[in-house]
Chain A
Amino acid sequence: MSDPAYLSLEKLRLSYGDTVAVEGLDLAIGKGELVALLGPSGCGKTTTMRAIAGLLSPIGGTIRLDGADITRVAANKRQIGLVFQSYALFPHLTVFDNVAFGLKLKGITGNALREKVEAGLKSVGLANYAARKPPELSGGQQQRVALARSMVMEPKVLLLDEPLSNLDARLRLDMRTELQRVQAETGVTMIFVTHDQAEALALADRIVVMRDGRIEQIGTPEDIYNRPVSRFVADFVGFENVYAVRDGALHAEKGRVPFTGTLPPVAGLAFRPRHVELGAGPLSGIVRGVSFAGGTREYVLEAAFGMVKAEADAALPAWSLGEAIAFDLPLAHAAPLERD
């Protein structure tokens, strides 16, 4: 993007009392970029967002925004918006007054205020709900009010903490499109937190995978999906069979994979279930689980070296439980891992 480091976090260190939650976080985000923070529960996503917003002071490191060091700038002066996972709408105010809250503090009044609020509500499809109070809205509507409330402030960066997690599957898709549209229309720099890899892959320009308060990998959705750097990321994006490479051999949980051929010089190899070839090959296993998943059938095979997850077209005849199958792990489809 135009400015490679519109928002940058340098060696950021965050703690709650004595417990360090985030350690040595380095991240540069371009203007107008849509970045997803992806990781399991407790890895420090919310903590990082709160630090960027200014609600939590770092114990080390620097945060820069638009060329200025904002590490010590108060939260109400940063021009960073945050949509809370819980929405955090003001229950005593109408939808209109919720959205108007920040604008009024900026000194905007009268017609200018009304126009901005109405435009904000219209853009999230809630123009007819201005007079309601938050408890009278559905979860999805509350979420959109929260989004409008932050967007009308025209923040430099908009942070969204699990914006879609409380919605049902349908609304979630609607809101995804909504976020993409808002982002395309306004060009606002956005960071959103999720622990759903599909959501991150679908929405983000770039994905930051976090683990235990550190960054595990940063990359485009293609990078993350096809070229995970570690077992952790591979697991996260659906490579269910991950093996360590040591002494020129593949190692699974229970032992060596009797693999013939030369292995590349990497720390590990990861295979997606759909890349496991069933029916022929040098390896063999017993079917311990079969489940129908629409277009495909998912198998759990027990091989001498451990469990293998495989997938086959549902149109093919099914193997049944207890049956022995020959299979292959084709190197051509394996993702090489830099770290185990």
Chain B
Amino acid sequence: MSTRFPLTLVLWLVIVFLIGPFLIIVAASFSAGETLAFPPQGFSLRWIFKVFTVESFRESFVTSMILAVGGTLVALVLGIPAAYAMSRYRLPFSETVRTVVSAPVIVPGIIVGLALLRYFVVPVGIPITLALFLAHTALVLPYAVRVVSASLANLRSDIEEAAVLLGSSRLGAFFRVVLPNIRGGILSAFILGFVTSFNQVPVSLFLSGPGIRTLPIDMLGYMEIVFDPSIAALSALLAFLSMGIVLMAERFLGFSRYV
């Protein structure tokens, strides 16, 4: 018991630091007062309802959704074949590809964002919307490759040969026996990618402009002007949304196997 004590203390400290702020946000969003404060003044649902009436939140929510879903889908379309090729063939550059593909995870987002803005958007003149989309795709790609690779590693390659000997083409074998068997991995990669993209701040910060902002950026902007509890309400809603998705994924896919 006595030797366990420091460990238990650390555990509780971690829980307090991770969950504490979240609980404060949730509590603050039920406040009846006019400003963001803790402890909350009174109880009301008015700020939660207000979130849905703010025009810019609605717009940036749609933008974030499109970026997260679209960017993740594109990342999967690129990442699945890449992961497949790296797992099945001995390619000359597969180590390099692996490094390049995981670079966005290692390099701080702020640098990725600045680099994209400074060396792509400004000199090449590609539209900022497209740049934002490409940036999100690139950010999600490493997760797609990594998660799909993990599930491919658990799949024996001889079932593809068996399919070929039963009359299927190589490509047909990929769709008929490889894809169905890595479905769980692909869904997990999608969820991980979606959450990553949706919550992404630093890169989006550089690539947002007057016409286009993601939800987190919009929230930052909103907070600079208005300091009411609706921002807490929105944060709490988003946190519950993310948690809901991940819990469902764990329940139905055994998500943690892949991540």
Residues of A within 8 A of B (CB): 53-55, 75-76, 80-82, 84, 86, 88-92, 101-102, 105-106, 149-150, 153
Contacts and interface: CB of A to CB of B under 8 A. Distances in A.
A11 B56 CA distance: 75
Interface in B158-194: 158-159, 161-169, 172, 176-177, 180-181, 183
B156 interface: yes
Given A91-B181, A92-B180, A92-B181, A153 B166 contact: yes
6 contacts: A82-B162, A86-B156, A86-B158, A92-B180, A101-B163, A101-B168
A90 B169 CA distance: 16
Q: Which of A53, A80, A88, A153 has the most CB of B within 10 A?
A: A88
B158 A105 contact: no
A102 B181 contact: no
Interface residue SS majority, chain B = helix
Contact of A88 (B162, B167, B168): B162
Q: How large is the interface on B (under 10, 10 to 19, 20 to 34, 35 or more residues)?
A: 10 to 19
Contacts of A102: 166-167
Interface in B99-151: none
A51 to B, nearest CB: 13
A75 B180 CA distance: 22
A102 B167 CA distance: 6
Contacts of B158: 84, 86, 88
Contacts of B180: 92
B164 A149 contact: no
Contacts of B163: 90, 101
B166 to A, nearest CB: 3
B155 to A, nearest CB: 8
B159 A89 contact: yes
Given A76-B165, A80-B165, 19 more contacts: A55-B161, A55-B164, A55-B165, A75-B161, A75-B165, A76-B164, A76-B166, A82-B161, A84-B161, A88-B159, A88-B161, A90-B159, A90-B163, A92-B180, A92-B181, A102-B167, A105-B167, A149-B162, A153-B167
